[in-house]
Amino acid sequence: MVQFKSDVEAVDALKESYQKLTSEIGKVVIGQDETVKMLLTAIFCQGHCLLVGVPGLAKTLLIQTIAGALDLDFNRIQFTPDLMPSDIIGSETLDNERNFRFVKGPIFANIVLADEVNRTPPKTQSALLEAMQEYSVTVAGKKYALDKPFFVLATQNPIEQEGTYPLPEAQLDRFMFMVTLDYPSYQAELDIVKNTTSDKKYKVVQQVSGEEILAYQQLVRRVPIADNVVEYAVTLVHKTRPNTELADAISNKYLEWGAGPRASQNLILAAKCNALLSGKYSPDIEDVKAVAMAVLRHRIVRNFKAEAEGISVENIISKLL
């Protein structure tokens, strides 16, 4: 484990590592600075991330580039309708001496890219549940621990619904963030086209080791936080729960279900990390607001009235903030 003389030194090292990573990733992925920040925040907080965007916005390239900038094992799983749970977690096979031997699946890596995770049935999607929550998998009654750090970075396409299976709420809740990718700006797209239609090759250099990430994850949890900031985060989550004591009027009107306790936990962890990456030593309410959209958007369920009136989840969260 990496050792620092003090937490102040560790905070400075985290910020320096973050700047190195963003600089390295920016060589390949252009115009997605906020998305890169959210993905790295999830990694430093020991969380998982769901990336949602239309085809061609470099979702897969972004995750592969981040994996390349980290000194970690990386596996990509392309989710398809015929994928089976054993294709992800592995299975027991007979060896030459007719003894059962467990053959590890692609889930046994530090970073797992679950590409188009909504293209496979719930039976196979559920193979990720134990891994994401317990950092282990169980096969034939035996538990196998996954190496840490471990992250699932999943992608899905929001517009193509034919042949897709919506992720169950229990699985969505295990993702720390849902990050949406938008189209690049005009200038960013000019740079993208120039870079990708020439013979230039950009090699990503590894900047941060697995031991450093584990140290940063522990550092984030040690960050002090004021009671009023925790109260703000928990109150915000309670506001999303319709027909409860602290429910907001807009939640009672437009929401079927609100966010659970994991939302409050993730708001605080993400706010702590956001503060560190911004050069602060303790988070404030603005740090909570900065991460609230990514933490809450996949944890609240609209009712029919909201869908009929075209009220989006983002509209509701913005009003609550």
CA distance 115 to 60: 7
Residues in a beta bridge with 26? none
DSSP letter for each residue of 39-98:
HHHHHHTT--EEEE--TTS-HHHHHHHHHHHEES-EEEEE--TT--HHHHHEEEEE-TTS
For residue 312, count other CB atoms closer than 10 A to its CB. 13
Dihedral of CA 303/306/309/310: which sign? negative
Q: Residue 233: what are its φ and ψ, rounded to 5°?
A: -65, -45
The pair phi, psi for residue 191, each rounded to 5°, is -65, -40
The pLDDT of residue 15: 87
**The pLDDT value given to residue 162:** 66
**pLDDT digits 0-9 by tens, 257-302:** 888 899 999 999 999 999 999 888 889 999 999 999 999 998 888 8
DSSP assignment of 218-238 equals HHHHH----HHHHHHHHHHHH
Query: According to the model, what pLDDT value does residue 96 have?
Result: 76
- The predicted model scores a pTM of 0.88
Average pLDDT per consecutive 10 residues, the chain (321 residues; last block may be shorter): 73 86 84 86 91 80 85 88 88 78 87 88 85 86 87 82 76 88 84 80 81 90 92 93 88 88 93 91 91 91 87 88 83
How many CB atoms are closer than 10 A to CB 174?
A: 17
Confidence (pLDDT) at 142: 85
Give the Cα separation of 9 and 119 in Å (integer). Answer: 44
CA 177 to mean position of chain CA atoms: 5
Residues ≥6 apart with Cβ < 8 Å to 115 = 60, 76, 77, 78, 79, 154, 155
The two tokens of residue 150 are: 């471990």
